[in-house]
Chain A
């Protein structure tokens, strides 16, 4: 799926793609109902007229099978744990800039290293 630069259209397209196989299950009303928001709110988000919360983005990402981490910046949100990490260690912002252009496979390698201890 090519990525829309804007959050609303991206969510709408993902929802419609699902609706193609299950029109009833992926109507605005049905999705909003599952997420515990009003249909109006979801429509506003899809039209870009409402900036959604992190919790909503994570819930709709899970519902539509999208990657939440990729949606958060589109809404101008930084994940709470990332914010907390940056507050605790401001040098991490520099690390993000340093890793910005690293190719994906190398980035993955830096993601988490597991230490083997004594056993």
Chain B
């Protein structure tokens, strides 16, 4: 197993298990949807956030706990949003756990390396193409919004009361190689040509931190389903895993840390909508997971700011939603690089 970085995408590779076992994860820049109590459609992707290996950075310029945790670093502006883009180029199935500040984004519980099969705390790829936020109820997530660690807004601070970790945590397990081989053989034996999507999903039955460190807080609501698992628990190869800690650095500090300019501030949702640009909607063919009571009880950045008498979200202006563009799993990143 190995973790690599390929042009700002994380590659979880398991060449010892199977050569097809490659999982890609990238972080997409996007709009912050208004934190206004409405449920918004999927915002677009503006291209990948830059990712830099912690070991490539000047140790004098990064906090010691980054070096201890390893992984990669990524810049975000305060109140900037992101979504995660998952793909398996060969269709090889993966179980992927995602957490922010070591709070699981799918079920809201504190981080544990072991997957929780009783109270689903992972996504399957292929199956779940994107994750835009913390799963709060069936079909609704609260957008991942970057806030300074220590200010009280992050999911981590709201759940644990501590500003200890920040960042994003990822852990992947591949499916057992024998299962993948069996499916490949069955596929090759089939006479009729099979569309690529079907190849990718071969099972028909649905089944006190430094000031520059950031964490993810729950922002506005987005309509997005977390697909329930298709694979059986014993299909996963739990003897191997690959993990990555993604440190979030305030974009203001990015140049000092890396010597590179951070990406520009994204447009506001209202400006974007005024320009007549598209929003998206995706219909999954799998049943959706129920949300997490833990995350649902968290306060959104806007709500918590109002309680504290602060205005943490600039330009939280609402807008009239246009008709969304309906998508299959592959198409959402089409605005890549357009901004």
The interface of chain A, by Cβ under 8 A from chain B, is 108-109, 111-119
Contacts and interface: CB of A to CB of B under 8 A. Distances in A.
A115 to B, nearest CB: 4
Contact of A114 (B53, B102, B169): B53
A116 B172 CA distance: 13
B69 A113 contact: no
B161 interface: no
Interface in B54-75: 54-56, 67-72
Contacts of A116: 3, 70-71, 242-245
B67 A114 contact: no
Interface residues of B, number: 25
B245 A117 contact: yes
B69 A117 contact: yes
B210 interface: no
Interface string B249-292: 00000000000000000000000000000000000000000000
A114 B6 CA distance: 11
Given A112-B4, A112-B56, A114-B10, 14 more contacts: A108-B4, A109-B2, A111-B4, A111-B5, A112-B6, A113-B3, A114-B53, A114-B244, A115-B53, A116-B244, A117-B67, A118-B69, A119-B69, A119-B165
A53 B244 CA distance: 38
B219 to A, nearest CB: 24
A117 B10 CA distance: 16
B169 A119 contact: yes
